[in-house]
Structure formats: C-alpha cells, structure tokens
Chains A and B, each alone.
Chain A
Amino acid sequence: MKKELRLTVNGEAHELYVKPKSLLMDVLRDQLGLIGAKRSCDTNTCGACTVILNGMAVHSCSILALQANGGEVLTVEGLAKKTELHPLQKAFLDYGSVQCGFCTPGMLMSAKALLDKNPTPTKEQIKEAIDGNLCRCTGYNSIVRAITAVVNGEYKEEK
C-alpha cells in the first residue's frame, strides 16, 4: 500500500506515492532521478548517501522516506546555481579533492551542512564534520584543504 509523501527537494515541491519501506535514498534516486547521493554501503557507515534534511546532514540510506514527510531536502544537485558552481564545488575542483569521485557528493553535503551552521569552523571541526564520510582513495587532506579554502574566503558565492 503506497502512502503519500510531500517533500521539497532542492527547492521544488513534490507530491509522491511511496512504499512505506522505501528509503529516502530510494525515492531521491529511483523516483526523482537524483543520483548524486550514492547507494553504497547500505549500512549507515560510509556517508556516500549524505543529503541535508531540514538543515541537518543525514544518511539517506538509513531514513525511511516517509520519515522525511513535509521536510526539505538538499542534494548535491541543488548546490550549483544554474551553471555557477557552489564555492565548495569550485574549491573541490581546484584543490584536487576529487579522485574517483564516489564520495564527493556526500563530502560536499557534509561540508555544506557544517558551513551553514558554522561559517568559521576550526580544522578539527571540519574533520569532525566529514568523519562520517569515507573516501576509499584516502584523499582526505585535499578535501580538508578545499573546505578550509572556502572558510578562508578564497571562494565567494555569486549573488
């Protein structure tokens, strides 16, 4: 029996019908075609499925879609403004923070959730924010450098 789910994703309101067992990740990827959040470990461990729900970074593989009912979701697809990349995305490119790229959407969303709440985090706070995101290329240093560059104002958001 499908249930109604109202969800705002990247600023766009959706009215969907989902199975109760559908995970937030399933709905984003399979019903809305937003494949930025990765289906990876599927066990609440690797962070590749991280999205921002109601202002908080969460693992979309470990939340029932219906639990997000009435909520606002931001995925990596919602970061750029039309053709203008988000400062974090620009920094990730410039600092070589993308190797195989699989962890990148999750890393970006964890970093975005951090900077939205605390625009001037310490290096320790940056590391803590991406602690729940695994990078199997082990490119952590370049990711921390990119986030630090945004914190230091090297990249400004286009108005």
Chain B
Amino acid sequence: MIRDFEYFAPKTLEEALSLLDKYRETCKVISGGQSLLKLMRAGLITPQYLIDIKGMSELDYIKSEGKNGLKIGALTTHRAIEESPMIQNGFSTLVEMERILAFIQIRNWGTIGGNLCHADPAQDPAPVLMALNAKLRASSLKGERTIAIEDFFTDYLKTALEPNELLTEIQVPAVPPHTGTAYTKFNIIENDLAIVGVAVSITLSSGTDVCQDVRIALGASAPTPMRAKGAEGVLRGKKVTDDLLTEAGEKASAEAEPLSDINASAEYRRQLVKILVKRMGKEALTRAKQA
C-alpha cells in the first residue's frame, strides 16, 4: 500500500527547484517512477511530498554538440535513447545497453535520469556511461555543478546529490578516434537486472595494438557501480593481448566488492567479473581496431 503524500507537478525547472529547496528531505522526486513506485509500494520510502517532474519537457532532449559530444536531458526516456539515430551514430553501445534494459513498457516510461538517481548498482546505464566518461549536471536554486559519473554514486541506492539538487543533464564526451566500447551483463532471465554487468572502453594508439587509454566499469559488483582502476592500470600503455586481458580480469575481480544476495554469491560474482572483463576487453579491442 502506498502511503498518502502531497503531490506537485511543476511545469518548469525553476518551479521544481523551489519545491525541492522548500521540502528537501521530506520530499521525493518522481520521473518515470519505474523503480521508485516499487519502493513506495513496499513501504520502504514514505515521502510526505512527491514532486513529479515527468511532464517537465525542458529536460527531455538529445542534443549533438559535435566535438563536444552529446547532451541528454535527464527526462529522456530509455526508449528515446534506444531509437535515437544521433546516439546510434557514434554512441551505439548506449543503444545496445538500452535494448537489454528491462521491457518496452518500462523503457517507454522510465527515464535515464531517474534510473541514475535510483542508484541501483545492478542497473545498466551507469557502467556504460562510466566507460564513456560521462559527466552529470546537477542544478539547485543556488546554481549548477558538474559531477563525474564515478563520483555520483556514494552507496547502495545513494547519490551525491544534495537534498535540494536535481539531476538535469547527462553529458557524454565525443568518443576519441580508435576507440571501441562494449557492454554485457550476465543474468538468468534475458533483460532482467544484471547479476554482473561489465562495460569496457579501449582507445588504441593510432595504427597499433597499444592501449592508449582504457575505462572499465562494473555493475552489480559492489554497493555502487564502480570503475575497476586497477584493471585499467594493467592494460594502459601496453600491447593488448589475450594474456594481458586475463590479467586485467583477475585484477578487476580482486578489486570488486560484490555482495551475496538471492541472485548469486559474492564468490560467483567475482568469477563473473573475471570472465566478463576479459570478454568485453576483447570485444572493445576488436571494435577499436575497426574504428
């Protein structure tokens, strides 16, 4: 049973920020609500005030900024990202990720910003956006700030947003030349939440197999989505071989902090991280060579 609450549907960002500033910890923001309503129904969250921003069309956009990459409004739906030619052209890993995120019904209504703010470590967008080096823009009445996505998640279902701040935009920089990115998740039922998710992005030095830059991000492998920086260190500056990718997988597995739950034990998750980092490393390498 959902507890009663007072409901606001602000039409502008200004209005929404004023409400947030007024109600702070006593309120919750709802966008698509595809995760939030589950928690409210279970009685785990009982806000006094609910601020519904789903209808705030000024945060629903996908803009290409050329050399400066891509800007995605926080209220863009998963389905809009999945079907965007602009994202397919140059950021296709985001499209591949959206295709395996839950079902069409959920992608039709759920938003990318809502997904990130829910901060479930098993969700798909965060690892992919980490591999793509995304930044998040947060706004409050006091102004705006930019948060690197790896600093956004502070604990299980917790973010770095202040109670009066709203996530407004996801900024994805242009992908450098000779870069390949890949994402996969392991689960029992297709399109279910990840038991472990892994995203890898590799940039090669021009015309070589030498890894100039690399980003490895893990989902469902710790209380928050995380970068596997140790594993990145194994690859950076070296010629990428099968053996080296195996070593990177082992390193990522060691630095992960997985939990045991109904889906899998921590030990099993570590094994998955090891295998999937190697597999996605290989895939990213193949794509980088073709890029």
Q: How many residues of B contact A (CB 8 A)?
A: 27
Question: What is the CB-to-nearest-CB distance from A103 to chain B, in angstroms, rounded to a whole number?
Answer: 13
Taken together as a complex, chains A and B put the C-alpha atoms of A138 and B156 apart, in Å, by: 35
Check A131–B191 contact: CB distance below 8 A: yes
**Residues of chain B within 8 A of A132, CB atoms compared:** 102-106
Interface check A64, CB cutoff 8 A:
yes
Given contacts A44-B38, A57-B105, A110-B104, contact A63 B33 (CB under 8 A): yes
Interface check A62, CB cutoff 8 A:
yes
Q: How many residues of A contact B (CB 8 A)?
A: 28
Question: What is the CB-to-nearest-CB distance from A74 to chain B, in angstroms, rounded to a whole number?
Answer: 14
* One of A21, A53, A63 near B4 (C-beta < 8 A): A21
**Residues of chain B within 8 A of A42, CB atoms compared:** 41
Check A59–B106 contact: CB distance below 8 A: yes
**Residues of chain A within 8 A of B30, CB atoms compared:** 64, 67
Check B108–A57 contact: CB distance below 8 A: yes
The segment from B48-56, B130-138, B219-227 found at the interface with A is B48-56
Check B103–A20 contact: CB distance below 8 A: no
**Residues of chain A within 8 A of B106, CB atoms compared:** 44, 59, 62, 132
Given contacts A42-B41, A44-B37, contact A66 B104 (CB under 8 A): no
Interface residues as binary, B18-34 with A (CB distance below 8 Å gives 1, 0 otherwise):
00000000000010011
Taken together as a complex, chains A and B put the C-alpha atoms of A43 and B41 apart, in Å, by: 8
Interface residues of A in 12-43 (CB under 8 A from B): 19-21, 23, 42-43
**Residues of chain A within 8 A of B6, CB atoms compared:** 1, 20
Interface residues as binary, A1-16 with B (CB distance below 8 Å gives 1, 0 otherwise):
1010000000000000
Interface check A84, CB cutoff 8 A:
no
Interface check A87, CB cutoff 8 A:
no
Check B33–A59 contact: CB distance below 8 A: no
Chain A positions within 8 Å of B, measured between CB atoms, are 1, 3, 19-21, 23, 42-44, 47, 50, 53, 56-59, 62-64, 66-67, 69, 110, 113, 128-129, 131-132
The 7 closest A-B pairs by CB, nearest first: A132-B103, A20-B7, A56-B108, A21-B2, A132-B105, A59-B105, A58-B109
**A-B pairs with beta carbons under 8 Å apart, 18 shown:** A56-B79, A57-B105, A57-B108, A59-B105, A59-B109, A62-B37, A63-B109, A64-B37, A64-B52, A67-B55, A69-B9, A69-B55, A110-B104, A110-B105, A129-B104, A131-B104, A131-B190, A132-B106
